[in-house]
Amino acid sequence: MQGMWRAIALLATGTALAPVAAAAQNRPDQKAFFGLYKELVETNTVVNEGSCTRAAQQIATRMKAAGFPDDRITVFTTPDHPNDGGIVASLPGSDEKAGAMLLLGHLDVVAAKRADWERDPFKLVEENGFYYARGAVDDKAMSAIWADAMIRFQQQGFRPKRTIKLALTCGEETTFAFNGAEWLANNRPELVRADFVLNEGGGGRFDANGKKQALAIQVGEKAAQNFTFVATNPGGHSSAPPPDNAIYDLAEAIGRVQKHEFPIKFTDTTRAFFTASAQALPGMAPPIRRLLANPNDAEADALVSRDKVMHSTLRTTCVATLVDAGHAENALPQRATANVNCRIFPGETVDGTLATLKELAGPKVTVTANQPVRPIAVPPPLNPAILGAVTTLAAKHFPGVPVVPMMSTGATDGVFFGTLKMPVYGVPGLFMEPDMNGTHGLNERIRVTSLYEGRDYLYDLAKTLAE
């Protein structure tokens, strides 16, 4: 999500100062939450190494102890993926006409090599006002907050008008792993069907001095899709090279990809984002407004696209990320391949992108879409009921901090709910550092204040939207 946070920095004017000291953790509900969060973080859920199923069972145990009956909790697995399970739970609403909402999170985490970390990545450590551990942020912070909210609702006897559903799944972090969100949407849609989804992808950002800059609500995302380029040749001895060469053919093909610009597109969300950008960045206002009026304005596009985040927010992008060629130092290459990673703009298709790449590659290079082919995210509407609650509660919990609607240039499990026509919103609340808190990298961490303040905000948001 780095693109989102850099874009927030472009728009934000820092306001509230965030203390580094640990937040008070003395309330009974905070102590109970910490126990859940710690247990979840310290349960290894790396694919093919740990167990999401174990984490799901631990949460189910806590929910049952809080009074959830067995028939409202489902821990699911499949025979071929016994360690990649997840949990679904529900709190019935009092008004069937009010529909349902889904709180979505993922239990799996990116691998963490102990030798590279300063601390054990699967032991929660508090130092200098931060919690350190793999998954301390992504995505066990939000997953623990959602599970904790459901437990608190049950313990308090809260009866929402709208049914509240919870789904914590596995496989989000690994392209070729079993993905529980996709499995639920395809095989058990009745467990997760809802009018809208609250998911990861939004959040907040501190500046380098610990000031809260802005909050983001993710309203739409691109789809990630990989394509393989292959050039073949009979090869031969390198001492007598002909003009024909698989490496050259591949290089020319990916060079054409490098130079190609996909057309500018706007969703309601990106139009709102660029409108806000024009207001916040006076120097960029003229070309941005020209693009909003005419997406085919090449001169304005060149000026705005000097910023790589804005460039990616305007269109589909494709970039070469891996190459492999040749078989010997003194032989002509018989085969050269490249992976091209595309981030496809909402409303466009994998097939359409593939057709463009084939045209760019030319007749000497074949192009195929890699499996699995992920669905294209459906742009959700800028629902005033959801955005209104997000903004009103932000003013209560984080006074003076602006809320910005954003389209992520990355991708989440939200893409799998388009087939069920369920709009997905990446909600704010958890503030992060400018370096993205080490997520997917070394020494992942979150400010203690950010975790507890975000927990209070997200609890209020879920409750408000369910009432």
- For 297-346, the pLDDT digits (tens) are 999 999 999 999 899 999 999 999 999 999 999 999 999 999 999 999 99
Residue 81 near residue 179 (C-beta atoms within 8 A): no
Helices (H), 48-139: 52-65
Least confidently predicted of 48-52, 102-106, 272-276: 272-276
pLDDT in tens, 405-424: 999 888 899 999 999 999 99
Strand stretches in 115-211, DSSP E: 125-127, 130-132, 163-169, 196-199, 203-206
Q: For position 3, what pLDDT does the model report?
A: 47
pLDDT in tens, 109-161: 999 999 999 999 999 999 999 999 999 999 999 999 999 999 999 999 999 99
Q: For position 22, what pLDDT does the model report?
A: 44
pLDDT in tens, 57-105: 999 999 999 999 999 999 999 999 999 999 999 999 999 999 999 999 9
HSE at residue 27, side-chain half, CA atoms within 13 A, is: 7
Q: Which residue's structure tokens are 């399970």?
A: 85
Q: Of 418 and 39, which is predicted with more confidence?
A: 39
Which token pair is 18? Answer: 């965030």
Report in angstroms the alpha-carbon separations of 118 from 33, 307, 435, 443, 445.
26, 34, 17, 7, 12
At 79, is the secondary structure helix, strand, or coil? coil
DSSP string, 36-102: HHHHHHTS--BTTTS-HHHHHHHHHHHHHHTT--GGGEEEEEETTEEEEEEEEEEE--S-GGG-EEE
Q: For position 148, what pLDDT does the model report?
A: 98
- Angle, helices 52-65 vs 28-41, to 10°: value is 160
pLDDT higher than threshold 50 for residue 1: no
Distance CA 180, CA 106 (A): 9
Q: For position 34, what pLDDT does the model report?
A: 97
Report pTM.
Answer: 0.88
Residue 410 near residue 341 (C-beta atoms within 8 A): no
Q: Which residue's structure tokens are 């400018």?
A: 434
Residue 390 near residue 428 (C-beta atoms within 8 A): yes
User: For the residues 370-383, what does the mean pLDDT come to?
Assistant: 88
pLDDT higher than threshold 90 for residue 265: yes
At 321, is the secondary structure helix, strand, or coil? strand
Which token pair is 208? Answer: 């380098």
Report in angstroms the alpha-carbon separations of 234 from 80, 161, 231, 239, 390.
42, 69, 11, 15, 61
Q: Fold match between 2-221+377-466 and 223-262+316-369?
A: no
Mean pLDDT estimate for the chain: 93
Residue 410 near residue 224 (C-beta atoms within 8 A): yes
pLDDT higher than threshold 80 for residue 465: yes
pLDDT higher than threshold 60 for residue 6: no
* 442 phi and psi angles, rounded to 5 deg: -85, 145
Residue 195 near residue 422 (C-beta atoms within 8 A): yes
CATH class of the domain defined by 223-262+316-369: alpha beta
**Residue 350 burial by CB count (10 A; 0-12/13-18/19+): exposed, middle or buried?**
middle
Q: For position 7, what pLDDT does the model report?
A: 60
pLDDT in tens, 235-252: 999 999 999 999 999 999
Report residue 257 CA to chain centroid gap. 26
Report residue 402 CA to chain centroid gap. 21
Domain parsing of the chain, residue ranges:
2-221+377-466, 223-262+316-369
User: For the residues 380-401, what does the mean pLDDT come to?
Assistant: 96
- Which CATH superfamily groups domain 2-221+377-466? Zn peptidases (3.40.630.10)
Residue 78 near residue 114 (C-beta atoms within 8 A): no
